[in-house]
Amino acid sequence: MKLRIARSRDGGRITHYDLYKIELRKGMTILDALFQIQDKMDPSLSFRYSCRGAVCGSCSMLINKEPRLACRTQVSDVHGFEMKLKVFPTLTDTPPGWNPEEEILIEPLPNMPVEKDLVVDMTRFYRALETMKLWIDSEEGTEAHLQSPDDRKKIERYVNCILCAICYGSCPVNYEQVEYIGPAALAKAWRFAEDSRVKSPERYLDVANSLNGAPLCDLIMNCVKACPKGVAPGGAIRKIKNP
């Protein structure tokens, strides 16, 4: 099996693609393959990872033009899946020489600046969460804030977000408008607005409906198809737009 991987030299932008032949093993993931390349062929190859178990979201990248977690994607299954995303240039532009029948194409996650090889600068993604203040401020006292199983179930899907930014990287609106805060931030805003323990849910809805928020979303639903944890941000955004 061969992997064609995006590389960068000048200021973080992709400058060329290198081709590597790996020794395929049963159960090998794309992340395993990247480790093999880094350990045995090219120690300069850069990529992010942490948990290796689809929990941290660090290893998000574009695999055969689809945003996926490298640790969760089996090499043997890459050619068998299709997300059927609405495409934009990053998902259609292919490098010269790529043979999709014999090679797996690995590129950095779209819609964010490239730092080096498969590592992207996620500042814009995280800044949205910070500027929207998507958390609950602590209060003095020792009283527990209890929640019923039914109320917990309402937000269960959105709590599962691992901030992998795959929804951000799959979004055509994020490609066209860098000011758009993105699906993950909006889904998290809905998560807090629906939380029975929150005293002022309207705060989260107000910030989600800002000019750079839900009004920019075209409900294309790439985020729903691509999310590796089933969060389905598009459903939350629809509710924000049509309360």
The correct CATH number of 2-120 out of 3.40.630.30, 3.10.20.30, 3.90.79.10, 2.60.120.10 is 3.10.20.30
The residue to which tokens 């979201």 are assigned: 57
- Read off the pLDDT of residues 212-233 as tens digits, 9 standing for 90 and up: 999 999 999 999 999 999 999 9
Check pLDDT > 80 for residue 73.
Answer: yes
Q: Quick one: which of 208, 56, 243, 206 has its CA closest to 129?
A: 208
166: confidence class by pLDDT, cuts 50, 70, 90:
very high
0.85 exceeded by pTM: yes
pLDDT surpasses 80 at 158: yes
Would you say 213 and 151 are in contact if contact means Cβ atoms under 8 Å apart? Answer: no
What 3-state class would DSSP assign to 98? coil
State pLDDT tens for residues 230-239: 999 999 999 9
Q: What are the structural domain ranges in the chain?
A: 2-120, 123-241
Res 211 pLDDT > 90:
no
In this structure, are residues 69 and 228 in contact, taking their beta carbons and an 8 Å threshold? yes
240 Cβ contact partners less than 8 Å away, ≥ 6 residues apart? 186, 189, 190, 193, 205, 208, 209, 213, 214
User: Class for domain 123-241, per CATH?
Assistant: mainly alpha
Mean pLDDT of 130-159: 91
* 6-47 pLDDT tens trace: 999 777 789 999 999 999 999 999 999 999 999 999 999 999
14 contacts 84 by C-beta, under 8 angstroms = no
